[in-house]
A and B are shown apart, each in its own frame.
Chain A
């Protein structure tokens, strides 16, 4: 998984999930490049791409922010698109195991139903642990 792709997906997912609220300032290109020790041009290209996709907003002389119109929630299509990467990985893994699509979809459905309340349970466990 190339680095620029990782960074791109990460920001998209954080915006889609609301971890990065609209209006939040993003680190400068230099800062982000240093924290990830990657070429600043890579960061600036990722920012530019996210800007054209409307995820981020460029502000003159100020840090980039998460675009405002995503206040309520990102459109369904955007949220779905941010699943691209895990889905691709899933497909790839299934292919390598030579499974067929129907079986994988069936397994996915089962997991889906089992995990209905999972996020809440998971959080409760974590709280007790602390």
Chain B
């Protein structure tokens, strides 16, 4: 087993004594595609920026490729790609010059990939960045993070302004990286269906804590919807329930920590065998925030 690319231990970040992240520990292993979910203000950007070494942790430590992220050496940075929430393109440059500029920072550059994406994404190289639409800028910004074929690609809300076609192309790029098996992606997005497609691991941030993290499969097995036929009103609360909908003759509940024992417990409580329904990531996320 390869060493994880990112290891964070008990990270805490506070701004002016106002904590934004509490005691967060996580790893990014080679080949992982990690989907970061959370409401606005849950701490997603802060978490990503701590990994990138933009800001020191108030407590705890985060290592990227074995180096403390705050003092990341050049060789490690060359393996990192980052797409910020708001692009940081130089307004006065043309798209082509912007590309050349970023390319000059790296020893290796995948010209074929970049040329293909320029073509597919309709990027006009002669156009000034200032005159480009938000979506075009976003595409260029993503392109700049892909050109050096980073081992660790970190994306903070990259698709908000992409049209459906461009978004599809973007998703394909992430699948390509994932298919490589040794490259990792950390993707924060509000488009839960994208994360559902791409991620094999999920981090759910809630109020600055990692409310849930782990394999997507485990999450899907753990949080399920159960349908119950009920003869008389329920005598007790459904254990582990995140949400409960009570009808006249049946009840539905989203429960977490699903297991044979829990099934038995619920069966005993209601007198019927619960029927289990798998949930989409969006349903899971919403249930966790109810």
Contacts and interface: CB of A to CB of B under 8 A. Distances in A.
A34 B169 CA distance: 10
Interface string B247-290: 11110000000000000000000000001011111000000000
B273 to A, nearest CB: 13
Contacts of A90: none
Interface in A8-37: 29-30, 33-34, 36-37
A72 interface: no
Contacts of B217: 4, 45
A37 B165 CA distance: 12
B196 A41 contact: no
A4 B249 CA distance: 32
Interface string B130-173: 00000000000000000000000000000000000000100110
A68 interface: no
A73 interface: no
A5 B196 CA distance: 12
Interface stretch (B80-88, B120-128, B197-205): B197-205
A82 to B, nearest CB: 17
B278 A41 contact: no
A68 B217 CA distance: 30
A61 interface: no
B278 to A, nearest CB: 5
Contacts of A95: 227, 250
Interface of A: 1-5, 29-30, 33-34, 36-42, 45, 88, 91-92, 95, 98
